[in-house]
Amino acid sequence: MTLDKRAGQRFLPYGANYLDWSDMAELREVIDHRVLFRYQTEQESMASRLERTAAERLGARHALAVHNGTEALRLCLISTRPSVGDLVHIPAVTFVAVAGAVLSCGLIPVLVDVDESLALDTGLLPPDARRVITAHMEGTVAPVPAHVPYLIEDCAQSLGARFPDGRQVGTAGYAGTFSFHHNKVLTSGEGGLVVTGDPAAWARMRCYHDHGSARVPGSYPTWNEDAHFGENLVTSEGVAAVQCQQFRHLDEVLAGLERMYALAVDRLPDRPDLSVLPRSAGDAKVSVRMRWESRELRDAAVAALTARGIANWTLNKYLLPEHPVLTGRRSPYADGFPWSHAPAGPLALSADGFARTRDLLDRTLCVPLSPELPEPAQIEAAKAVQQALETV
């Protein structure tokens, strides 16, 4: 939450509050070793340790660390061996990085409308959809479509969330992606991770992310005889060390979020013009998501919270049908690539042109939670939210 000295809230999100010099054993180990490039050491690199830790924690067969979540999405798409102009179905409500990842791979995004929870409506997907990205936004576990060959789960905002059957998000389909951007469940400022159960996909990702070859630790550089082109998306040892430290606190972060969520929801004003968007037991409860009867009431709630220094946000900025990249089919290429390979006509699946979704977004408000606070401070923070909303 935003700084509110009266409620003991700190201006840091989630995992950032658990960063402390006394707790940075992995980073000290990397600095003492004086090797910051993961393939320059013959011992297990910190990046490899991170991947092993993440795979074990998430129940995934393979994990690969990269610079950020957008690169993670790109790696997943490239590993499917697509053709230029292939369609990728993505949620109409998500961060523009999802569309950017699709376009940067030479592929074409198709916007799919969302359900009441703002997750991709799987019922709108055509039966022949081959590549689908679903996003678990705000820690909410989204439904995933069956029988899609290349289902990619964008878990940037939902690390640690679980499906009803106990599986971790990111493990239900072809691959899952995670972000360690500053405002995520865990953070290293930037950073990304891919998990997959497909060994061939992992091998293709691993090669592409380091100039097209699978490196041999301690023998850099080496080249595969069948090397294809790639990029440098290799994470550094220092960033991986911070992420290892963060993973040690994941359960603590999730428990703190769970505790404060219950406290905050219990203290929301009981009024007929306000409802809480349901959360499942497995959601990563990074915020309280509420829906007002009208946009005017929502905006009044925003003003009341902001005046008291309580962090809050709306989700209208995530409506991709109104983003200039999509509305203007803009591109840095002179020939409009890859839009020049797109089929004619609208690239959207919605029964009403996203009118219902616009209305839902106009009435939705999110208040983030502070997992690091002790329970008395969490109670005070919840009371501050309650008092602010009672004035609306």
Active-site positions read: 184
DSSP calls for 346-369: --EE-SSTTHHHHHHHHTEEEEE-
Residue 112: what are its φ and ψ, rounded to 5°? -110, 130
25, 27, 29, 35 alpha-carbon torsion, rounded to 10°: 170
CA–chain centroid gap for 174, Å, is 16
Which residues are CB-neighbours of 326 under 8 A, at least 6 positions away?
99, 109, 111, 320
Measured CA to CA, the distance from residue 249 to residue 10 in angstroms comes to: 18
CB 369 within 8 A of CB 288: yes
Q: Which residue has the tokens 């990702």?
A: 205
Measured CA to CA, the distance from residue 205 to residue 202 in angstroms comes to: 5
Measured CA to CA, the distance from residue 4 to residue 10 in angstroms comes to: 7
